[in-house]
Amino acid sequence: MERQGLLKDALVKFTAGVILIGLLLFLPAWDIRWHNGWMFMVLLFVPMCIAGVVMYLKAPDLLRSRLRNRESEGEQKQVIRGSGLMFLAAFITAGLNHRFGWIRFPKGVVTAGCVIFLLSYLMFAEVLRENAYLSRIIEVQEGQKVVDTGLYGVVRHPMYSATVFLFLSMALILDSPVSFLIMIIYIPLIGKRAKNEEKVLEEGLEGYREYEKKVRYRIIPFIW
50 falls within a domain: yes
pLDDT computed for residue 135 by the predictor: 66
Low-confidence ranges of the chain (pLDDT < 70): 1, 69-75, 135-139
Give the pLDDT confidence score for residue 20 in this predicted structure.
97
Give the per-residue pLDDT at 134.
74
Q: Give the residue from 201, 63, 71, 193 showing the smallest Cα distance to 132.
A: 63
Assess if residue 220 is contained within a domain: no
Domain containing 64 equals: 2-214
- Please check whether residue 209 lies inside any domain of the structure: yes
Q: pLDDT averaged over the chain? A: 91
Residue 221 covered by a domain: no
CATH code at position 123? 1.20.120.1630
Counting the structural domains of the chain, the total is: 1
Whether 70 maps to a domain, the answer reads yes
- In 3D space, the residue among 198, 197, 117, 203 whose CA is nearest the CA of residue 163 turns out to be 117
Which residue in 198, 87, 91 sits closest to 138, CA to CA? 198
**pLDDT (tens digit, 9 = 90+) per residue, 64-95?**
888 876 655 566 778 888 999 999 999 999 99
The whole-model pTM stands at 0.91
What interhelical angle do 74-100 and 2-29 show, nearest 10?
A: 40
List pLDDT tens digits, range 100-127. Answer: 999 999 999 999 999 999 999 999 999 9
Give residue 204's region: left, alpha or beta (phi > 0; psi -120 to 50).
alpha
CA dihedral 109, 111, 114, 115 (to 10 degrees): -100
